[in-house]
């Protein structure tokens, strides 16, 4: 049998790239709602269904924008607004509390065509932080505004404001109380204007929102333009004005048509900042895309090392996989966890994580919408190194 196998030509499995949607006037969209320890046992069937329905509804909003000729930026903003209004996610109305009992929002958006970007941190009254980030990009000479100054700017742009109690959710408050009590820290008074205790339905959060709660969108429009956006309430119980990777351009959010890549990240933000994840993914992707011979050398070396009495199967890895997996691996080596969504100019979405789950989904002009939660969901099948 070994002799027969040796006589058979060595098998080489090549994963083909997806159609080049940008050249065909197509569009593509991918979203995430946070990554972390999300396992089937931690979600009831009702919770599972609620998250999937919320992701699907957000995808439909983005699909309508892009299908009608809207820009990638418009789609990113519209979808994130939907997610910011959904209390299931740690952004906008579902945001977590600081140790002082406040809710502080961070967001960023980036235009891949011009490399223009806008970011905000520490907002407390602006209903849609992602819209404030876009206003910074388009209506100011700056990239990043924080705290009261950012709030004043958003108000001057006519963006909708709400009372801080608008963002209150019982499950986030109870999560903060449990965390502070566990850590031996003082519990602040219940926020002014919050509903009476017991008046609001509680849905047990299935993941550790202190680290992994974020929403993000990457999009390719019919004109071949890329954009990325991300929004978050940050870490539950955060102190001292902590800001994570989300509003840091190049860490949690990045887009570049020249690189052919848009990225939104979710995870333990300090590590994503240190690894400059979003920008590095795009840089790695562009280099791998422009130098396919590098991957060919790897394949040839692996085949050369194959036992001559065996049939070897080697995958030709996509450039986007090489880039995303390398960065998430680096985050893991630093001690961090999380995931990324990546969109290329071919319209190919990619999802990479080192956690047991990430709320995510995608839709395009050629493929119907799909959503997933767990790392081993059928829609997510990372290639082996």
Taking the CA atoms of the chain, what radius of gyration do you get in angstroms? 22
Residue in 214, 230, 232, 253 annotated catalytic: 214
Strands 13-14, 261-267: pairing is unpaired
> How is residue 154 written in tokens?
């958003």
The pair of three-digit structure tokens given for residue 222, joined into one six-digit string? 């019919």
Considering only CA atoms, which of 245, 263, 283 is closest in space to residue 119? 245
The residue written with tokens 């999560």 in the block is 175
Best CA proximity match to 268, nearest among 210, 229, 312: 210
The verdict on whether 169 is a catalytic residue reads: no
Q: Evaluate whether 86 touches 56 at the Cβ level (below 8 Å).
A: no
Distance CA 319, CA 340 (A): 15
Q: At what angle do helices 319-334 and 292-304 cross, to 10 degrees?
A: 80
By annotation, the residues acting in catalysis are 214
């Amino acid at each position: 049998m070994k002799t027969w196998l040796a006589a058979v030509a060595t098998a080489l499995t090549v994963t083909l790239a997806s159609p080049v949607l940008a050249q065909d006037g197509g569009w593509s969209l991918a979203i995430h709602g946070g990554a972390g320890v999300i396992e089937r046992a931690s979600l009831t069937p009702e919770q599972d269904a609620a998250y999937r329905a919320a992701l699907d509804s957000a995808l439909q909003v983005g699909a309508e924008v892009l299908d009608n000729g809207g820009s990638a930026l418009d789609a990113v903003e519209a979808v994130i607004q939907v997610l910011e209004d959904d209390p299931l996610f740690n952004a906008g109305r579902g945001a977590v509390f600081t140790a002082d009992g406040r809710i502080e929002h961070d967001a960023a958006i980036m235009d891949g065509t011009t490399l223009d970007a806008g970011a905000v941190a520490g907002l407390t009254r602006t209903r849609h932080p992602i819209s404030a980030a876009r206003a910074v990009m388009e209506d100011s000479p700056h990239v990043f505004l924080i705290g009261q100054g950012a709030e004043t700017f958003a108000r001057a742009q006519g963006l909708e404001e709400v009372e801080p109690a608008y963002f209150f959710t019982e499950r986030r408050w109870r999560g903060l109380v449990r965390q502070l009590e566990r850590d031996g820290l003082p519990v602040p008074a219940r926020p002014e204007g919050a509903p009476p205790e017991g008046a609001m339905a509680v849905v047990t959060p299935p993941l550790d929102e202190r680290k992994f709660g974020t929403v993000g969108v990457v999009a390719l429009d019919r004109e071949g333009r890329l954009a990325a956006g991300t929004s978050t309430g940050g870490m539950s119980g955060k102190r001292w004005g902590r800001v994570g990777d989300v509003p840091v351009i190049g860490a949690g959010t990045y887009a570049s048509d020249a690189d052919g890549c848009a990225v939104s990240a979710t995870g333990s933000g300090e590590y994503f900042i240190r690894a400059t994840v979003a920008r590095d993914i795009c840089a790695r992707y562009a280099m791998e895309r422009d130098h396919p011979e590098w991957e060919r050398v790897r394949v040839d070396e692996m085949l050369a090392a194959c036992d001559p009495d065996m049939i070897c199967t080697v995958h030709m890895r996509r450039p986007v996989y090489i880039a995303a997996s390398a960065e998430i691996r680096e985050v893991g080596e630093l001690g961090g966890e999380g995931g990324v969504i990546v969109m290329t100019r071919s319209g190919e979405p990619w999802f990479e994580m080192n956690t047991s789950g990430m709320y995510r989904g995608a839709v395009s002009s050629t493929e119907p919408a799909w959503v997933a939660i767990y790392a081993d969901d059928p829609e997510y099948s990372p290639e082996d190194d």
